[in-house]
Structure 1
Amino acid sequence: MALQIESRYTKREILEAYINQIPFGVGAHGVEQAAQVFFGKPALQLTLAEAALLAGLPKSPTRYNPFRYFERAKGRQKVVLARMSAVGNITAEEAEKAGQAPLNLRERSGGEPAGSYFLDVVLKELEERFGTDVVHHAGLKVFTTLDPQLQALGVESVQQGLDRLDRMLGVPAPVGGRSAGRLQGALAAVEAHSGAVRALVGGRDYAESEFNRAVQSQRQPGSGFKPFVYYAAFEKLGLSPASVLVDRRVAIPVAGQPPWSPRNFSGDFEGPMILKRGLAHSVNSIAAQLVERTGPAAVADVARRCGIKSPLAPVPSLALGTSGVSPLEMAAAFATFAAGGIAHETFFIRRVEDFQGRILQERLMAGRRTLDPAIAFQLLDMMRAALEEGTARVVRQMGFSLPAAGKTGTTDEFNDAWLTGFTPTLSVAVWVGYDRAFSMRDTQGRGITGGRGAAPIWADFMRKATAGEPPREFPVPGNIRFVAVNPVTGQAPALWGGSRMEVALREGQAPPALFAPDPRESATGESPGHGRDSN
C-alpha cells in the first residue's frame, strides 16, 4: 500500500496529506482542525508565530500541549522558527519577531471531544497493523465498538464525580493553579458477552492530559482483587460461600521478610463468619488466610484466566491487590464472571475496509471458557451481596436498582479507590486517584475508599446508561441451589429471628453440620469487634 501511494503521488502531495491528518493533540487531527482548536481560525489565517507553534506540536502533542505547558510549547516554537531561518524560509529578523509575537490561544470549553481517549487507542492499533501512511492516506473505513451515548455519559459521570470529590477533599480549584496535581479518574465499559469496549474515559479532561489512565495506568486494585482469591479457594480447596473462617489477626510467613500481617479497615476482628460475608464486607484477614492456603500462584492463575495481563507478583499480599492493573483489564476480568466463566479478549475495532469496500480486518466474536460456570456464579452471587449490603451498598442508595454485582477496592493510605461491577450485559471499572501516589482524605481527615470515591461514579454512570432497560437476571447454572444459612456459623438459621444469608451452593455441597474452627484460629489475643472493612 505504501509503495502504491509513493508511485501515485509526489512528495509534496504526500506531505500535504500527512499535514492534513496527523494528530496535533487535544483531539485535533490535521492542521485545519488544529488551527480551529488552538486559535479559533482557519489555517489560511494563521500568523507565522501561530503556524510555527502548531508545526512544533506533532513531535509530542501531549508534552507540548500549549494549553497545559505553554512555556514548553513556546520553546518548541522557537526551535521551528530557528530551523526555518536556517534553511532560508524566513529571515532571522522575521524569526525573532515571530518568537516575540503574542499568542492568543482559544479559550477552551472544558469538555472532552467525545471518544478522544478511545480514538487514540484505535489509531495506535491501526498504525501498528497497517502502518502510518496507510492509516492516514489510504481512505480506510473503520467501524469501531464505541457507543457515543455511553461515551458521553462516561465523561459526564467521571467529571461530575471528580468535582464532587474535589469538594470533599477541599480542593475546588486545580492545585497551584495547574491541572497537573488534580485528582484523576478513569472508566472502562466492556460488553460482557463479547469483549467489545463500549466506552473509555482515560482521565478528567483530554484537553489537559492525553495520558490514558484506563489503558496505560497500572494501579493497585486493592480489595478489588479478592474475587480471584475466593475463586481459587473454591476451586482448589473445595470451599463454598457457606464455609466458615475466623476473622482474626494473622501473620503469614514471607521468605526473607517479616511476616505479612494485614489489618482490617476498621482495625477490629469479628470472629467466625461465612465466606460470602467475608467478601461482601471485604474482610482482609479472611482473604489473607485463603491465599495462605491456596498459594499466591493459584490466585494469579485465576486472574490470568479472567483476562489480567499485567505482571503479578507471586506474594501473599497479591490477595489484597498489590500488583498494578489497568481499569480496562479489571472490567474485562469481571466480565468473565458476568459471562458465566467465558473470557473474551477486549477489542475496539469491529471491521476495517479499504477505500473500495474490501474487508481488510474483521472481528469474529469468540469466547473461551476459562472458569467453572458454577464456581463463577458463586462468586457472582457473593459480589451481589457487596452491592446489596456490603462495601458497595451506596450503589443501591443512589437509585441503581437493576440486577448487578461488583467489588470495591481501596489501597493503603487511600491512594487508589475502585469499583468494578457488572450487569448481565455490561462490565464497568471505575478508578479514582492522583497520578502520583498521594493520599485522598476529606476535610475531616477521613480516607476516600472505593465505596466513597469510585462507587458513586459507577452508580451514576450505570443508572444513566441503563435508563429504560428492563431488569435482566443473571442465568443460574443447573447445578446451583440456594440455601439460607447463619452468616456466623454457616449452619441452618433459627426458625424465628436471628440473622440469615442466602448462599449459592454447588451440587454435592452442603452447609457445615457443626461449626468447628481451625485450632490455629481459636486464640487470637484479640477481643472480637464488630468493625467492617469499608474498601
Structure 2
Amino acid sequence: MVKIEKGEYKWLIKVLWITFTASLVMFTFYVFAVSTNLIGLFGPMPDLKYLENPRNDLASEIYSADGVLMGKYFAENRSPVEYDEISPNLINALLATEDARFEKHSGVDFKGTLAIAWSMLSLDPRGSSTITQQLAKNLFNTRGEDYRGALGKVPGLRMLIVKTKEWMMAVQLEKNYTKKEIIKMYLNTVPFGSNAHGIDAAAKTFFGKKPSELNINEAAMLVGIVKGTYIYSPIYKPNNALNRRNVVLSQMVKYGYITDAAFDSLKVKPIDMSKYAVENHNKGQATYFREVIRSFLYKWAKRNNRDLDREGLKIYTTLDSRMQRYAEEAVAANMKDQQKKFFEHWKGRNPWVTENYKEIPGYIERAAKSSNRFKMLKTQYKDDEAAIWKEMNTPIKMKVFSWNGEKDTTLSPMDSIRYYKHFLHTGLLSMDPNTGHIKAWVGGIDYKHFKYDHVMQGKRQPGSAFKPIVYATAIDNGYHPCQEVLDAPVTFVNEKGETYTPKNSDGEPSFEKMTLRRAMGRSINTISASLIKEFGPQRVVDYAKRLGITSQLEPVPSLSLGTSPVSIYELLGVYSTFVNAGVWTKPMFITHITNRHGEVIESFPPTTVEALSEETAYKMVHMLQGALQEEGGTAQGLFRYKAAQGNDIGGKTGTTQNYSDGWFMGITQNLVTGIWVGGDDMSIHFRSMSLGQGGRMALPAWGIYMDKVYSDSNTGVKKSAFKRPKNLSISLDCQSYRDAAFANDSTQQQYTNPSDSLLKEIL
C-alpha cells in the first residue's frame, strides 16, 4: 500500500483546484468568446430578439372563397400546426428516439454532452443533441455560412463551436418557451424529405393524412426519417426505412410507450406508401389559375416588401372549389370526346395543314427548334446540327399525357412533338357578373404537360363571339332588337381599290329581312358587316375598349367577324357587362391577403366602369337570348341540358375561318362562362363545320358545367330570370314595336335600314 504524505495531499488538492478554476475560467472565456464572436473567430450568434421570437419560413397558402386550401407558394413546403393537432403517437416516438430525458433537462442533457465530446475526440461526430438543440439548429441554420467564423474552417473545432452555439441557444429557448411549445416548433420545422418541411406537410405527403391521424407505425416511420431524409426514405431506401422504423418502435418499448406484444405485431407490418404524393405546382385544384396569379403575387410582394415564399401569407381568392371542380370535370369530359373525334377525323394524316388541307412541309422541324430540348442541345453542341438532330431523333423513355392517364413509353423528342401536336386545347373562365368574382378557371387540358394558359395568356380570334360588340354599338346608337335588317352582300373598298365581301358561314345570303335579334342569334355575317360599315370599324373598336377589351384591335371591316385575337378573360368581361346593367367590372380573383397571424395586409376592391346604359345592356341580354329562342339560333344545342330548362339563358357561339377556333360564351343572371377550344395553332383544326363549329366544340362543356353547378345547392347558384330595368322605355316585344313604328312615320323613318336600297337594286 502506497502511503501519501500530508504535504503531497495538499499539493494534489491545490493542483486539482487550480485545474478546475483554470478550466472554469477557460470555459467561461470560451463561452464569452463564442457569444461575442471574439475578433471574428467564432462567427456571429443569432440576435437575442430572434431567439425570443424565432422566425421559421412558412409556405404561403392560397384559399378558395369557400375556405378550401388549393395550393401553396414556398421555398420550403411548411405549414404550422398546434400541439393539440399532433398525434400522441408521434410525440411518444419522437421522445423515445431523439430525447428520452426531454422533460428533465433545460435544453442541454449532460449525458448527451459527454457523448458529443467523445465523438469530437474520436473524430466521428454523431447526433446526440437534445430536441431543443435540434430546434435551434433548424430555426437558425447554425451550420450555414452566415454563422461561421475563422475557426469554422477547422473540422474538429467547427463542430465544437456549432454545438456550443446550439447549446447556448437551446438554453435560451427553454427559458422562453414551454416544453409543449418546443415540441410543436420542432415538429413544425424539421425536414422530412420529399419536399415536406414540418409535420403537416410530411403527414400529407407520405400518408395523405393530418398529423392528428397518424398511427403508431406511421409516426415511427416519420420519426425515423429525421435521422436521414434520404438514407431512411421509404421511397428511395425502403429497406432502410423499414429497419429504422422498427428501431424507433423498439425505443418506444424501451421507454414504456408500447408493449412488447404491440411491438411484435407492428414490426412485421409493411410501410404503406399507397397515398404518397409530393406536393408541387403540377397537382391540385386550379393549377393554371395558381400559376397565372403567381406573377401577380410576386409583383405585389415586391412592391410591398413581402416574401411570398417564406412569410406564411394567406391569399383568399374568389374561386369556389366546388365550381372549380365541376369546371375541370366538364372540360375533361368534353375534351376527351372532342379529342376522340379529332383523332378519328385525322386518322392516317397529320392535322397541321394549309388552307387547302395540304400538310405543311417542315412544320414539326420548325416546332422542334423552338422547344426547350432543342435549345439545350444547341447550347451543348453549338453549331453541330447533325449532333443535335441525332439526339432529337434518338428514342428515350418518357411519360406522356393521354386522356386515359399518363403513360410510360419510349419516343424520340421529335416523335413526342408530333404526338403532342395532335391534341386539342381549351380554356374555361366562369364569373359572377354582379360582383366580378371569378368562380372557376381552367387554363388547359393538363398543367403538368401543357403549361400554357388559354384563359388570360392565350389570345385567339373570337370569330362570331365578337359580334355582340358590333351589335351593342348599333343598339347604343338608335337601333332596336326588333329592327329588321337585310341578309344581303356588303362590299368594302379600301384606298387601293381592293374589295372585300364577307360571306355567311353557309355560303350564299338569303336576301331575307330579319330582326337584329334573329340575325345575331343565327350569326349572320352579312348583317354584322353592314352594321360595321354603317358605324365604322373605329367606332366598334372604341366600344370594345369601353367594354374591357385591352388587346390591339385592327379597325378594319373584317373585325365584324372577329378577326382580331382576344383572350377569354377579356371577352368574359364584355358579356358580364351586359348582365350587370352596363357596368363593366374587371374580372377579379383575389379578395384579400393576410399575414401568418390572420391580420389583413391588403384588400382588393372591384374595378368598375359604366360602359353602357342600363337599357342598352338589357337589350343586349335580350339579343343574346335569341341564340336559343330565335329560329335557327346557334345555341339551341343547349336544350339537351337541364341547365336550359326553366331558366333564362343567353349565349353566343364563335367559329373562325377553317374552324381553327371554337367558342361559346354563355350568360345567366348569376354566372357568365366563356369557353374556347382549338389546336396548338391555327393550322391544326377540323375540316368541317359539323365538327369544327363553336356549337360543337365548346358549347357542350358549358352545358355539362352548368348542369353540375345547378345540381349542387351549396354553390348558391340558382336558375333565375334576367333582371329587367325598372324604367325600360321601349318594349322588346317585336309586334308592339312594329305597331308603334307603323303608327309613327318619323319612327319608321328613324329605323330605315340602309340595306333596303341595296335590296331594290338587286331585285
TM tier, smaller: 0.7 to 0.9
Partner of 1:163: 336
CA shift at 1:329, angstroms?
1.3
More strand by share: 1
**SS at the partner of 1:199?**
strand
Partner of 1:394: 637
Partner of 1:205: 446
- Range that drifts further, 336-345 or 468-477: 468-477
CA shift at 1:8, angstroms?
6.2
**SS at the partner of 1:418?**
strand
Partner of 1:102: none
CA shift at 1:484, angstroms?
4.2
Q: 1:198 to 1:445 in 2, by over 3 A?
A: closer
Alignment deviations for residues 473-494 of structure 1 (CA, whole Å, 9 cap, x no partner):
111122244454479xx8459x
Q: Does 1:217 align with 2:462?
A: no
CA shift at 1:291, angstroms?
0.2
CA contact (8 A) 1:409 1:449 kept: yes
CA shift at 1:37, angstroms?
9.1
| Aligned amino acid, residue 490 of structure 2 | V
CA contact (8 A) 1:420 1:429 kept: yes
**SS at the partner of 1:118?**
helix
Alignment deviations for residues 17-39 of structure 1 (CA, whole Å, 9 cap, x no partner):
964259xxxxxx9934999999x
| Aligned amino acid, residue 705 of structure 2 | F
Alignment deviations for residues 442-468 of structure 1 (CA, whole Å, 9 cap, x no partner):
7x7844101111111111111211225
Q: Does 1:521 align with 2:759?
A: yes
Q: 1:473 to 1:509 in 2, by over 3 A?
A: farther
Alignment deviations for residues 512-533 of structure 1 (CA, whole Å, 9 cap, x no partner):
89989532233448xxxxxxxx
Partner of 2:575: 334
Q: 1:513 to 1:163 in 2, by over 3 A?
A: closer
Q: 1:513 to 1:343 in 2, by over 3 A?
A: closer
Partner of 1:409: 654
Partner of 2:566: 325
How far apart in 1 are the matches of 2:747 and 2:684? 43
Q: 1:448 to 1:524 in 2, by over 3 A?
A: farther
CA shift at 1:386, angstroms?
0.4
Q: Give the percent of matched residue pairs that are identical in Structure 1 and Structure 2.
A: 27
| Aligned amino acid, residue 195 of structure 2 | V
**How is 1:177-216 mapped onto 2 (pairs within 5 angstroms)?**
178-216=419-457
| Aligned amino acid, residue 654 of structure 2 | G
**SS at the partner of 1:406?**
strand
Instruction: Please report the RMSD computed on the Cα atoms of aligned residues, expressed in angstroms.
Output: 4.0
TM-score w.r.t. structure 2 length?
Answer: 0.52
Q: 1:516 to 1:190 in 2, by over 3 A?
A: closer
Q: 1:483 to 1:360 in 2, by over 3 A?
A: closer
CA contact (8 A) 1:194 1:367 kept: no
Alignment deviations for residues 315-337 of structure 1 (CA, whole Å, 9 cap, x no partner):
11111111111111111211000
How far apart in 2 are the matches of 1:117 and 1:246? 44
CA shift at 1:245, angstroms?
2.0
**How is 1:97-136 mapped onto 2 (pairs within 5 angstroms)?**
113-131=284-302, 134-136=307-309
How far apart in 2 are the matches of 1:348 and 1:434? 27
**How is 1:53-64 mapped onto 2 (pairs within 5 angstroms)?**
none
CA contact (8 A) 2:195 2:278 kept: no
How far apart in 2 are the matches of 1:289 and 1:516? 8
CA contact (8 A) 1:430 1:458 kept: yes
CA shift at 1:255, angstroms?
3.3
| Aligned amino acid, residue 258 of structure 1 | E
Q: Does 1:20 align with 2:76?
A: yes
Partner of 1:359: 600
CA contact (8 A) 2:194 2:278 kept: no
| Aligned amino acid, residue 709 of structure 2 | A
**How is 1:268-283 mapped onto 2 (pairs within 5 angstroms)?**
268-271=508-511, 272-283=513-524
Q: Does 1:44 align with 2:229?
A: yes
How far apart in 2 are the matches of 1:399 and 1:317? 36
How far apart in 2 are the matches of 1:466 and 1:445? 31
CA contact (8 A) 1:118 1:200 kept: yes
How far apart in 2 are the matches of 1:163 and 1:30? 32
CA contact (8 A) 2:58 2:310 kept: no
Q: 306, 310, 313: which is aligned to 2:547?
A: 306
Q: 1:316 to 1:514 in 2, by over 3 A?
A: closer
Alignment deviations for residues 163-208 of structure 1 (CA, whole Å, 9 cap, x no partner):
1112222349689683343111110011101111111000011121
TM-score w.r.t. structure 1 length?
Answer: 0.73
CA contact (8 A) 1:186 1:201 kept: yes
How far apart in 2 are the matches of 1:251 and 1:122? 45
CA shift at 1:393, angstroms?
0.8
Q: 1:129 to 1:445 in 2, by over 3 A?
A: closer
Q: Structure 1 regions of 5+ residues with no counterpart?
A: 23-28, 52-104, 494-502, 526-535
Partner of 1:139: 312
| Aligned amino acid, residue 137 of structure 1 | R
| Aligned amino acid, residue 338 of structure 2 | L
Q: 1:254 to 1:205 in 2, by over 3 A?
A: same
Q: Does 1:457 align with 2:628?
A: no
Partner of 2:674: 429
**SS at the partner of 1:216?**
coil
Partner of 1:56: none
How far apart in 2 are the matches of 1:373 and 1:385? 19
CA contact (8 A) 2:546 2:611 kept: yes
**SS at the partner of 1:178?**
helix
CA contact (8 A) 1:221 1:325 kept: yes
More helix by share: 2
How far apart in 1 are the matches of 2:529 and 2:722? 29
| Aligned amino acid, residue 728 of structure 2 | N
CA contact (8 A) 1:278 1:286 kept: yes
Q: 487, 490, 493: which is aligned to 1:250?
A: 490
| Aligned amino acid, residue 76 of structure 2 | N
How far apart in 2 are the matches of 1:47 and 1:222? 58
| Aligned amino acid, residue 44 of structure 1 | T
Q: When the two structures are aligned, how many residues end up with a matched partner?
A: 439
CA shift at 1:396, angstroms?
1.8
CA shift at 1:227, angstroms?
0.7
Partner of 2:195: 31
CA contact (8 A) 1:20 1:30 kept: no
Q: Does 1:466 align with 2:639?
A: no
**SS at the partner of 1:312?**
coil
Q: Structure 2 regions of 5+ residues with no counterpart?
A: 1-46, 60-72, 79-192, 209-221, 237-275, 348-401, 404-414
CA contact (8 A) 2:479 2:751 kept: no
How far apart in 1 are the matches of 2:497 and 2:334? 40
Partner of 1:233: 474
CA shift at 1:308, angstroms?
1.3
| Aligned amino acid, residue 465 of structure 1 | V
Partner of 2:158: none
How far apart in 2 are the matches of 1:511 and 1:345? 39
The structure having more radius of gyration, on CA atoms, is: 2
How far apart in 1 are the matches of 2:421 and 2:719? 41
How far apart in 1 are the matches of 2:642 and 2:58? 54
CA contact (8 A) 2:663 2:694 kept: yes
| Aligned amino acid, residue 694 of structure 2 | G
